[in-house]
Amino acid sequence: QVQLVESGGGLVQPGGSLRLSCAASGSIFGINAMGWYRQAPGKQRELVAHVISGGSTIYADSVKGRFTFSKDNAKNTMYLQMDSLKPEDTAVYYCNLELRAGGVQYWGQGTPVTVSS
C-alpha cells in the first residue's frame, strides 16, 4: 500500500511563489516515475513535471523556467517549487508515483492553487 498526501497549496497573487509538498508512505520501492500534474476546471489533467527513474526532469512548456521539481529521499517527499505564478496556473495539483510492479499508479488527493489578485 502506498499513500500520497499533497500540501502547500493556497491563494497567491500573480508573481508570487508557492512550494508544494507530496509525502509518500507505505511500500515504496521499484519506482518507475514520479511527478506533478494539475487539473483546472473544465480541462483535462495535464503534466507539470515528470521524472523517469534514472532520467532528467521533463517540464510542461508552460512552466519551464518557473517551476522546479525536487525530492528528498530521506523524507520520502517530492516538491514542486512554483515561482512567478500566473493566473493560468490556477488548478488542483496532484502528485503521482508509478511503481514498476504492474506499472501501478498512485495519486494524492490534490491540493488547490489559486493565483489571483
Compute the C-alpha angle 97/29/34, nearest 5°.
20
Residue-wise pLDDT for 8-52, tens only, equals 999 999 999 999 999 999 999 899 999 999 999 999 999 999 999
Q: Is the pLDDT of residue 57 over 90?
A: yes
Residue-wise pLDDT for 73-104, tens only, equals 999 999 999 999 999 999 999 999 999 988 89
Q: Give the 3-state secondary structure of residue 87.
A: helix
Contact residues for 55 (Cβ-Cβ < 8 A; gap 6+): none
